[in-house]
Amino acid sequence: MKVGAVVITMGNRPEELRALLDSVAKQDGDPVQVVVVGNGSPVPEVPDGVRTVELPENLGIPGGRNVGIEAFGPGGSEVDILLFLDDDGLLARTDTAELCRRAFEADDELGIISFRIADPDTGETQRRHVPRLRASDPMRSSRVTTFLGGANAVRTRVLTQVGGLPDAFFYAHEETDLAWRALDAGWMIDYRSDMVLNHPTTAPSRHAVYHRMVARNRVWLARRNLPALLVPVYLGVWMLLTLLRRPSRPALKAWFGGFREGWATPCGPRRPMRWRTVWRLTRLGRPPVI
């Protein structure tokens, strides 16, 4: 199976980007084709053979990754598997691409693989980087219902069938939107602890727009994908969880502003998942109300 990789960058981490690209070049088996997308910035110097696309403006994470997908042909059709990797990450092992090939070849239903993210200094994996509710053991691989945006592999047939990431989300929840559409189309998602991306431990709230985007996109996610009966349940649960976490007053104000924006602005086409998919998500341990 042919493997490609999409990396988006804002050009501000040239050393980390080079280290990542070197780790991709060291993968076992056939070479991994790479596209680096400069998301509103020039692309730093890259090794020979790496394709680059420079965008005049920052399209956000999903928009930038979608440009990278199309650089491999419609829906990424020039390759069978696409890796999506953060530009400050590093593939910890040389067999990750080969493990992806084997996993997709062995399981025709498998559409997406979520890698384990580990801190390069401590080796620890944050709970939020284990894409399931039972996240206490990051070394346990399992079927899951979503995936990590900057450390994953996607069978390109999934993208051809259900489309790419939602451009308008810009940042936050775009992976879950794609995951739910893929699951509704019959694909499965695996979390694999043996496929590792080293990445410095960070907090998502470091981004100034975090609280607004998280709330707005949560509403869009529900409006786009959930049966009408589940929309208020899902959003009510997340509002309660947000309040229980006791965010600061400015953070809470931004969150409620984003929540209102999610209802007041277009969310894109609505394609509610089938109740059979709701039951599948429930059996996998994460019913679409949380």
Do 107 and 230 belong together in one domain?
no
Q: What angle do CA 230, 217, 80 make, to 5 degrees?
A: 95
In a domain, 279, yes or no: no
- pTM value is 0.96
Q: In this predicted structure, what is the pLDDT of residue 256?
A: 96
Per-residue tokens: 171: 């940042």
Per-residue tokens: 39: 């998301």
Q: In this predicted structure, what is the pLDDT of residue 207?
A: 56
Do 66 and 127 belong together in one domain?
yes
- Cα separation, 243 vs 225, whole angstroms: 24
In a domain, 287, yes or no: no
The amino acid at 213: M
Per-residue tokens: 233: 């349940």
Q: In this predicted structure, what is the pLDDT of residue 42?
A: 97
Is residue 99 within 8 Å of 195, Cβ to Cβ?
A: yes
Domain that holds residue 260: 207-273
Residues 6 or more apart whose CB falls under 8 angstroms from that of 59 comprise 39, 40, 66, 67, 167, 170
In a domain, 283, yes or no: no
Q: In this predicted structure, what is the pLDDT of residue 69?
A: 98
Domain count, the chain: 2
Print pLDDT tens along the chain (290 aa): 999 999 999 999 999 999 999 999 999 999 999 999 999 999 999 999 999 999 999 999 999 999 999 999 999 999 999 999 999 999 999 999 999 999 999 999 999 999 999 999 999 999 999 999 999 999 999 999 999 999 999 999 999 999 999 999 999 999 999 999 999 999 999 999 999 999 998 776 555 589 999 999 999 999 999 999 999 999 999 999 999 999 999 999 999 999 999 999 999 999 999 999 999 999 999 999 98
In a domain, 89, yes or no: yes
Do 216 and 97 belong together in one domain?
no
Do 180 and 254 belong together in one domain?
no
Do 122 and 221 belong together in one domain?
no
In a domain, 284, yes or no: no
Boundary (domain end) residue, out of 164, 183, 202: 202
Residues 6 or more apart whose CB falls under 8 angstroms from that of 235 comprise 218, 219, 222, 259
- Cα separation, 226 vs 277, whole angstroms: 10
Do 214 and 255 belong together in one domain?
yes
CATH of the domain at 132: 3.90.550.10
In a domain, 36, yes or no: yes
Do 118 and 233 belong together in one domain?
no
Do 74 and 185 belong together in one domain?
yes
In a domain, 280, yes or no: no
Do 59 and 88 belong together in one domain?
yes
Do 195 and 225 belong together in one domain?
no
Say whether 130 sits in a helix, a strand or coil: coil
Do 193 and 226 belong together in one domain?
no
In a domain, 282, yes or no: no
Do 98 and 233 belong together in one domain?
no
Task: Give one DSSP letter per residue of 10-54, joined into a string.
Answer: -SS-HHHHHHHHHHHHT-SSSPPEEEEEESSSPPPP--TT-EEEE
Q: In this predicted structure, what is the pLDDT of residue 203?
A: 72
